[in-house]
C-alpha cells in the first residue's frame, strides 16, 4: 500500500505567455488548472501507471473541496483532514523560451490538534506492506521536524518511507533514516553546503555518505543531465532522455511516483531505474502537472541508457 502525504497541497494554475514583462501587461495564451502538491501529483501519476495509492494530508476551504473532488473523479482513494483557512493556489508562469516563474501562496495555518489527528491517521495505515511518501513543503504551524517524527513513528510498525523534501525538512528527516530519498541536484548541493554547481562525482560522493546513514535507496535527479541511482552494491547514472518538453514542472514528482510504483510492484532495481527515467521524461511533455500516459512511458523505457558509476 502506498500512502502519499501532502501537508501543503495546492491548486496549480499554469499560464502560458510569450515573455514576462515586469511592471507591464502580460497576455495569457493558455491556462491550465490542476489539483496539485507533491504527494497529490505522485498519486495521480501512480494511478496513470495502473497502480493504486491513498492520498492524505491537510485541505482547507473551497480550494480544498476542489482537490477532494478531483481525487474522487480520478477514483483515487483519499482521507484528508480539513483545517481552517484556504488551501493555496500556486501560479506557474511558463514563457515560450522555457523560462518558468512560480508564485506560491503560503496556505492555511495548521493547529496542533490537526497535526495530532494526522499522525494518528498515518499510524493507523502503517504496516510492513506500507510505503509512506512524504513530499513537499509544510504549512504554517507545522514543525520542520515533522517528517522525522512521522518516519520514526511509522518505522515502529515496520512501514517504509520515501522522502522528497528540501532544506530543514530534508536534513532533519535524515536522522530517522528514511528508506528511499529523491533529492534533486540543487537540494543535494544545498544540503552539502555547496554554493556552486557540483560535479557528478561530487554529487555521487554526497549520495554515498547519505547511504551510510542507513538509507537504502538514493535517487538524485539532475534535470536535463539525467539522474543517478544508488543502492548497496549498485550505483548507476542515466543520461536525460531527449523529449519535446513543455514544462519541467512535476518531473521530480513523477520520478517519486515511479519509485513508489516500482516498490509496490516489487520491481528489481534495473527496471525501477528505467521506469523512473521514462516517467519523469514523459512528465515534461505534458501541460501543467498532468502525468504522462502509460503508453508514452512504455515507449520511453526503450530509450533509457544505464551507465555504471565508479
pLDDT digits (tens, 9 = 90+) for 130-149: 999 999 999 999 999 999 99
Average pLDDT in the chain: 93
3-state secondary structure the chain: CEEEEECCCEEEEEEEECCCCCCCCCCCCEEEEEEECHHHHHHHHHHHHCCCCEEEEEEEHHHHHHHHHHHHHCCCEECCEEECCCCEEEEEEEECCCCEEEEECCCCECCHHHHHHHHHHHHHHCCCCCEEEEECCCCECCCCCHHHHHHHHHHCCCCEEEEECCHHHHHHHHCCCCCEECCEHHHHHHHHCCCCCCCHHHHHHHHHHHHCCCCCEEEEECHHHCEEEEECCEEEEECCCCCCCCCCCCHHHHHHHHHHHHHHHCCCHHHHHHHHHHHHHHHCCCCCCCCCCHHHHHHHHCCCCCEECC
- What was the pLDDT predicted at 244? 74
Residue located via cell numbers 521514462: 278
- What was the pLDDT predicted at 245? 65
- What was the pLDDT predicted at 249? 66
Residue 163 cell numbers, joined: 522522502
pLDDT in tens, 177-227: 999 999 999 999 999 998 888 888 999 999 999 999 999 999 999 988 999
In sequence order, what are the residues at sequence separation of 6 or more whose Cβ sits closer than 8 angstroms to the Cβ of residue 143? 149
- What was the pLDDT predicted at 288? 62
- What was the pLDDT predicted at 3? 98
Asked if 152 and 123 count as a contact pair (C-beta separation under 8 A), the reply is no
Asked if 274 and 301 count as a contact pair (C-beta separation under 8 A), the reply is yes
CA–CA gap between residue 216 and residue 201 (Å, rounded): 20
- What was the pLDDT predicted at 48? 95
Q: pTM value? A: 0.91
Residue 174 cell numbers, joined: 535524515
> Residue 152 pLDDT more than 80?
yes
> pLDDT grade, residue 54 (50/70/90)?
very high
> pLDDT grade, residue 14 (50/70/90)?
confident
Determine the average pLDDT of the residues in 50-72: 95
146 CA to centre of own chain = 17
> Residue 46 pLDDT more than 80?
yes
Amino acid at each position: 500500500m502506498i500512502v502519499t502525504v501532502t501537508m501543503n497541497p495546492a491548486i496549480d494554475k499554469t499560464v502560458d505567455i510569450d515573455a514576462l514583462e515586469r511592471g507591464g501587461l502580460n497576455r495569457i495564451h493558455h491556462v491550465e488548472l490542476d489539483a496539485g502538491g507533491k504527494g497529490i501529483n505522485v498519486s495521480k501519476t501512480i494511478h496513470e501507471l495502473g497502480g493504486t495509492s491513498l492520498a492524505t494530508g491537510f485541505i482547507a476551504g473551497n480550494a480544498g473541496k476542489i482537490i477532494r473532488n478531483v481525487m474522487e473523479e480520478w477514483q483515487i482513494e483519499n482521507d484528508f483532514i480539513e483545517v481552517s483557512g484556504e488551501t493555496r493556489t500556486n501560479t506557474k508562469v511558463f514563457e515560450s523560451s522555457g523560462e518558468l516563474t512560480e508564485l506560491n501562496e503560503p496556505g492555511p495555518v495548521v493547529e496542533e490538534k490537526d497535526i495530532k489527528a494526522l499522525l494518528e491517521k498515518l499510524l493507523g495505515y502503517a504496516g510492513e506492506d506500507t510505503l509512506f511518501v512524504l513530499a513537499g513543503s509544510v504549512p504554517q504551524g507545522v514543525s520542520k521536524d515533522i517528517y522525522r517524527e512521522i518516519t520514526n513513528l511509522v518505522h515502529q510498525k515496520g512501514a517504509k518511507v520515501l522522502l522528497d523534501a528540501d532544506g530543514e525538512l530534508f536534513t532533519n528527516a535524515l536522522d530517522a533514516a528514511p528508506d528511499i530519498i529523491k533529492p534533486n541536484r540543487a537540494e543535494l548541493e544545498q544540503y552539502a553546503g555547496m554554493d556552486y554547481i557540483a560535479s557528478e562525482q561530487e554529487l555521487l560522493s554526497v549520495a554515498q555518505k547519505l547511504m551510510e546513514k542507513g538509507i537504502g535507496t538514493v535517487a538524485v535527479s539532475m534535470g536535463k543531465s539525467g539522474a543517478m541511482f544508488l543502492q548497496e552494491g549498485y550505483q548507476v547514472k542515466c543520461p536525460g532522455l531527449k523529449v519535446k518538453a513543455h514544462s519541467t514542472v512535476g518531473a521530480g514528482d513523477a520520478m517519486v511516483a515511479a519509485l513508489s510504483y516500482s516498490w509496490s510492484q516489487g520491481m528489481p532495481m534495473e527496471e525501477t531505474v528505467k521506469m523512473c527515467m521514462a516517467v519523469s521524461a514523459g512528465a515534461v511533455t505534458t501541460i501543467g502537472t498532468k502525468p504522462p500516459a502509460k503508453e508514452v512511458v512504455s515507449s520511453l523505457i526503450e530509450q533509457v541508457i544505464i551507465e555504471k558509476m565508479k
